[in-house]
Amino acid sequence: MKRKPFIAGNWKMYKNASEAVTLVQTIKAAAHTVSDVTIVICPPFTALGVVSKILTDTAIQLGAQNMYSAPEGAFTGEISPTMLKDVGCRYVILGHSERRQYFKEDDILIHEKVKTALKYSLVPIVCLGETLAEREAKKHFDIVKTQFDECLARLEKDDMAKVVIAYEPVWAIGTGKTATPDQAEQMHSYIRRLLNERYSQEVGNRIPILYGGSVKPDNTKSLMEKPNIDGALVGGASLKAESFAQIIIEAQQTHEAGINS
């Protein structure tokens, strides 16, 4: 049986607090009939507090887009895992390609962040993915394997079992270019194989692997039909309640059709 679908919205650096309130209220209303999808919303830090309050009586979970690898300290401008927990976060996106590209985060730092998140009971959504040049040079599997090994593979098995992985080819993020369902599935099954080999079949079977990169309502079904694609990390289309809700509904329907077929 397929894993429970998992849809996360990454709002990036969009929406001030009042815009966030309007958006999350509309998402909440639109998704209230959905029971079989894990839904996570990741607003900017400044909107976490207000969004958290609106989500208290719902099954929708709160996530952050980044955090630092220490619980507290003299780290001007950073946010700690305990602060995220305090405001109601259960998830945190780590290693997003925009963090790697614009803020020079490397696999070593990301690994530290992943370990700290787990230590403070946050679920890390760890992003892996190759650039266009790396894919054209046919290095995409090697790149993702290195990212996997450096960011994750030294975790204890119990910790690893709690992680969520997002495969996000950099060339598909915000470009309107989605990986084809077959391209995405190939990489997802490769990551699943790494999990099986490095950890165990049980860990491999359990971990949700999300696809990210120009996911929209009209490509959700064809992606989610693939056996190793468990959900999506959605950027642009999560900024509009209608498209985000439609992605969630597509994910639920595709899952139900898979169970019943």
Residues linked to residue 92 through DSSP beta bridges, in sequence order? 64, 124
Provide DSSP, 53-90. HHHTTSS-EEEES---SSSSSS-TT---HHHHHHTT--
Amino acid at 187: M
The rounded distance, in Å, linking the Cα atoms of 158 and 202 is 11
What's the min distance (Å) between Cβ of 35 and ligand PGA?
25
The rounded distance, in Å, linking the Cα atoms of 33 and 238 is 18
In the DSSP assignment, the letter for residue 180 is P
Q: Measured between alpha carbons, how far apart are the two ends of the chain, in Å?
A: 11
Among 73-81, 110-118, 181-189, 229-237, the segment contacting ligand PGA (CB under 6 A): 229-237
What's the min distance (Å) between Cβ of 43 and ligand PGA?
13
Q: Point out the catalytic residue in the list 105, 134, 168, 250.
A: 168
Q: Is residue 168 part of the contact set for ligand PGA (CB under 6 A)?
A: yes
Q: Which is nearer to ligand PGA, 10 or 147 (CB)?
A: 10
Q: Is residue 247 part of the contact set for ligand PGA (CB under 6 A)?
A: no
Let me know if 202 is a catalytic residue: no
| E strand or H helix that includes residue 40 | strand 38-42
Q: Which is nearer to ligand PGA, 71 or 174 (CB)?
A: 174
Q: Which is nearer to ligand PGA, 95 or 204 (CB)?
A: 95
Let me know if 168 is a catalytic residue: yes
Q: Is residue 10 part of the contact set for ligand PGA (CB under 6 A)?
A: yes
| Closest residue to ligand PGA in the complex (CB) | 235
Please identify every residue annotated as catalytic: 96, 168
What is the binding site for ligand PGA (CB under 6 A)?
A: 10, 168, 173-174, 212-215, 233-237
